Amino acid sequence: MEWKTGITKVEPNNLVTKGYRQEDLIANVSYSSVVYLLLKGELPSKEHGRMMDAILTACVDHGITSPSWLASRTVASCDVPLSTAVAAGVLAIGDAHGGAIEKGAKILQYGIKRMHDENKSMNEIAAILVKESKEQHKRIPGFGHRVHTSDPRTKKLFSLTDEMKIASEHVELSKCIEKNFEKNGKKLPINVDGAVAAIISDMGFDYRLGKAFFFIGRIAGLTAQVYEEITREKPMRKMFDIECKYDGPVERDLPEEG
């Protein structure tokens, strides 16, 4: 029996990741470019490298409104190791929190493929996707936000993709979908997850890596949250004081034969 890996070769006094000696990477390559190398297999161009920094930073923290944040702080208040509390926040990055990157990228990649296969225009394919999502009563992930109407992260990410000449078909499709929603009377601006979904698709990433951009970026924010909790708050503090109404069965005796 034997294991195979294409990621890191480990020999005494020699570590090689995706072909590059780790000491070379340590001395010369930014961390976000090493992340890119690990997820894509090759080092980024200068433009892709800068975009990678922008994407990870855009995911870094969204304060008290985020479930990963609440999960990490709650667990942190129980006096556990730093990594345990941070991992609890990573667990919260599910289909409904950060998951729109994966699901959004999947649908955009599917849309662009279908556009080429069926010889459609960008506008036609956007209209088809919106129509189908309506018929199937499914939302297209990556549009709309419960706090922001014009997310500053989305705007900046898209202006960078233009500047870096990274924006291509997937970003375009994403904007077409937004316009199509508007035509149907719906204000559903592309949110930060949606923007990341479009950009990583244009950068050639597999949609199955979608959640990774979110949690690799967010882990720094979660760490800061956990550190703030343990340095500024008491263990097991009362986190909120809303009332809880019990609406289960009324108080009763055990049946005769318990």
**Within 143-202, which residues bind its own copies (CB under 8 A)?**
146-153, 155-157, 159-160
Residues 119, 137, 185, 257: which binds its own copies (CB under 8 A)?
257
Q: How far is the CB of 246 from its own copies (least distance, A)?
A: 4
How far apart (Å, rounded) are the C-alpha atoms in residues 120 and 193?
A: 26
Burial string for 186-203 (b: 16+ CB within 10 Å, else e) reads eebbbbbbbbbbbbbbbb
- For 55, residues 6+ apart whose C-beta sits below 8 A from its C-beta are 157, 196, 199, 200, 213, 217
β-partners of residue 185 are none
Q: Does 128 bind its own copies (CB under 8 A)?
A: no
Q: Closest Cα to residue 133, out of 112, 109, 104, 170?
A: 104
Least distance in Å: CB of 178 to its own copies? 16
Q: How far is the CB of 125 from its own copies (least distance, A)?
A: 27
Closest approach, Cβ 42 to its own copies, in A, equals 8
Q: Which residues contact 166 (CB under 8 A, 6 or more apart)?
A: 47, 48, 51, 160, 199, 202, 203
- Site for its own copies, residues 96 to 125, rule: CB under 8 A: 96-99, 102
Does 22 bind its own copies (CB under 8 A)? Our answer is yes
Q: Enumerate residues 53-92 that contact its own copies by CB under 8 A.
A: 53-54, 56-58, 60-65, 67-68, 70-71, 74-75, 77-88, 90-92
Tokens of 14: 């020699």
**Binding residue for its own copies (CB under 8 A) from 95, 118, 132, 162?**
95
Of these, 135, 136, 165, 240, which contacts its own copies (CB under 8 A)? 240
User: d(Cα 74, Cα 76) in Å, to the nearest integer?
Assistant: 5
Q: How far is the CB of 129 from its own copies (least distance, A)?
A: 21
SS3 state of residue 17? strand
CA within 13 Å, CB half, 240? 7
Which residues, listed in sequence order, are joined to residue 8 by a DSSP beta bridge? Answer: 17
Q: Which is nearer to its own copies, 128 or 223 (CB)?
A: 223
Count of residues touching its own copies (by CB under 8 A): 133
Taking the least distance from each CB to its own copies, the nearer of 17 and 168 is 17
Report in angstroms how near the CB of residue 245 gets to its own copies at its nearest: 5
Residue type, 231: T
- Asked if residues 152 and 206 have their Cβ atoms less than 8 Å apart, the reply is no
CB of 61 to its own copies, least distance (A): 5
* Closer Cβ to its own copies, 93 or 125, answer by number: 93
Task: Report the distance separating Cα 218 and Cα 56, nearest Å.
Answer: 8
Q: Which is nearer to its own copies, 119 or 236 (by Cβ)?
A: 236
Q: 211-230: which residues touch its own copies (CB under 8 A)? A: 211-212, 215-217, 219-221, 223-225, 227-228, 230
